[in-house]
Structure 1
Amino acid sequence: MNQEDKKKPPGFDATRRTTLLGGLAMATTALTAKAQSFDFKASQRYPDPNVQVLDNSFLKYRLYSSTVEQLATGFRWVEGPVWFGDGRYLLFSDIPNNRIMRWDEVTGTTSVFRNPANFTNGLARDRQGRLIACEHLTRRITRTEYDGRITVLADNYNGKRFNSPNDIICKSDGSIWFTDPPFGIAGEWEGDKQTSELPHAVYRI
């Protein structure tokens, strides 16, 4: 734990901040399948009927004059969106393509942030604004430092390797919570087929 990998990830710019995008892509089911897109039309009605509030405590966050927009398409499937508001960009994982993508709010363009990315899934920001990532291939949690270096935060529990860290969140007290299902070790589609060493669980760093 807490070892450092001096390799600087390609495309990393510590002075620029991040983007947000949530699964606006259609997943395919075959390894040979190509990225697909679907017809998307923004609602012409306000409030947008596609936005549903399931918990009334979230009503104060809803913008009734806004609508759901498609930011980008053409990926295999995407997860783990994390918004870097200070840089007005969104980072998200295009898992089967083994890359982290970046959507820029100012220009509306999408570019590759990191490739290869160890089949990252969940992404988050810690209290210091650094990128925290769940990596399926390496079965670990990493932090991208301001200078681009990668620090390994956790890769095992009691000497046994994690399965494939998936979803992650950074709590206000500085702790990091993540899930550890077997998706990344079940096959070659989003990781590397390997034997599970731990039960499926939720962990805290």
Structure 2
Amino acid sequence: MDGFELTQPVFKSYVLPNAPLEKLAEGFRWVEGPVWFADRDELLFSDLPNNRVMRWSQSGGLSIYRQDGDFENGHARDRQGRLLSCSHRGRRIHRTELDGTVTALVERYRGKRLNSPNDIVCKSDGTIWFSDPPYGIQTDYEGGKQDSELPAAVYRFDPRDGTLTVVADDFQGPNGLCFSPDERRLYIVETGLQFATDPVQHVRAFDVSEDGRLSGGQIFCTIHPGNADGIRCDEHGNLWSSAGDGVHCIDPGGELVGKIRVPSTVANLTFGGRNNSRLFLCASHSVYAIYVNVRGAVVL
């Protein structure tokens, strides 16, 4: 099967030989943070070093959604359909209201500024979970050099009462994160220290209690070539991860099921499109899409 690598037989049922990889747009500096808006039938994603958020739709093509948004990286939608964004230069989580205004949600923890929030997910109870490595304030390329005030960590924010809690702090560089379909497991990517010669890089799996606490945290898988960055789960609980050679599909036991080969390094991905079965890929300077025979996990 051209463009696919089958490691386990089941992967053959997930991919479609007559649905090739498509390039939707190109000419960016480094694309990140894809999020699908099914009610608007459009994809939003960040052209991070160019400090803009882009919009793509099948009918309308490519346009700029927001320019000069304080270097936004990861995005998600909350339970009311509003856009949640991670700002590098603003060092915060902000929300775009339905009327287009922007509201700052989280900027500090115990009086100190966050580093540069990277990736974000919204749980079915409305709580917002995000990673906060220092990557965005270590260079001028993705936000601008600033001093770090807090160690890298993963946070849980409850917009109902404004509480902000550290749920994991034993990371050097927490990055992408996503819940399993039943939300009993949280996957978190460790991409290590940015300029290290041999950074620690793997995906860890945590058990999630009803009150939002995490336990476990064992290594779930390691992605090679390259490393994991953005991740998403499908309806069967498989983890789809970005990689140096494309997209890797990992089963719930941590074993590689198969790969979708992509011409450039994939940084992030999301499910969307008709029936939530189109995989959108942010890959270096371009955005790709491919239809697959599996649906993205739906938040409960």
TM over 0.5: yes
Q: Deviations along 1:93-142, whole A, 9 cap, x unmatched?
A: 001000000011223x1111101111000011111111000000110000
Counterpart residue identity of residue 103, structure 1:
W
1:146 and 2:95 correspond: no
Q: How far off its partner does 1:49 sit?
A: 3.0
Q: Is the aligned partner of 1:78 residue 2:8?
A: no
* Change beyond 3 A, Cα 1:52–1:90: farther
Post-superposition Cα deviations, 1:15-66, rounded to whole Å, max 9, x if no partner, equal: xxxxxxxxxxxxxxxxxxxxxxxxxxxxxxxx65337688x6x887655542
**Structure 1 position 67, deviation (Å):** 2.2
Going from structure 1 to structure 2, the CA distance change for 1:62 and 1:98 (only over 3 Å counts) comes to same
Give the aligned length: 157
Q: Residue type of the partner of 1:66?
A: A
Q: 1:50 maps to what in 2?
A: 4
SS in 1 for 2:49: helix
Matches within 5 A, 1:85-104: 85-104=38-57
- Go from structure 1 to structure 2 and tell me whether the alpha carbon gap of 1:127 and 1:51 turns closer, same or farther (over 3 Å shift): farther
Residue identity matched to 1:145: E
Specify the alignment match of 2:180 in structure 1: none
2:26 partner SS = coil
2: CA distance, partners of 1:59 / 1:132: 35
1:165 positional shift: 0.2
Q: Write the mapping of 1:26-37 to structure 2, written as runs, cut at 5 A.
A: none
Residue in structure 1 matching 2:137, options 156, 160, 185: 185
Q: Distance in 2 between matches of 1:194 and 1:176?
A: 25
Deviation at 1:145, TM superposition (A): 0.4
Check 1:204–1:191 CA distance in 2 against 1; reply closer, same or farther (3 A cut): same
Secondary structure of residue in 2 paired with 1:174: coil
CA distance in 1, matches of 2:70, 2:152: 20
- In structure 2, stretches of 5+ residues that fail to align are 158-300
Describe the SS at the equivalent of 1:184: helix
Measured at CA, do residues 73 and 195 of structure 1 come closer, stay the same or move farther in structure 2, by a change above 3 Å? same
What SS does structure 2 have at the residue aligned with 1:189?
coil
Aligned partner (choices 120, 127, 137) of residue 175 of structure 1 = 127
TM-score scaled to structure 2, two decimals? Answer: 0.49
Q: Which residue of 2 aligns with 1:161?
A: 113
Q: Residue 21 of structure 2 corresponds to which residue in structure 1?
A: 68
Residue type at the aligned position of 1:198: L
* Distance in structure 2 (CA, Å) of the matches to 1:69 and 1:194: 38
Q: SS of 2:33's equivalent?
A: strand
Tell me: CA distance 1:160–1:53, structure 2 relative to 1, closer, same or farther (3 Å). Answer: farther
CA distance in structure 2 between the partners assigned to 1:123 and 1:60 by the alignment: 30
Whose strand fraction is larger, Structure 1's or Structure 2's?
2
* % identical aligned pairs: 58
Deviations 1:62-84 (A, max 9, x none): 55542221110000010000011
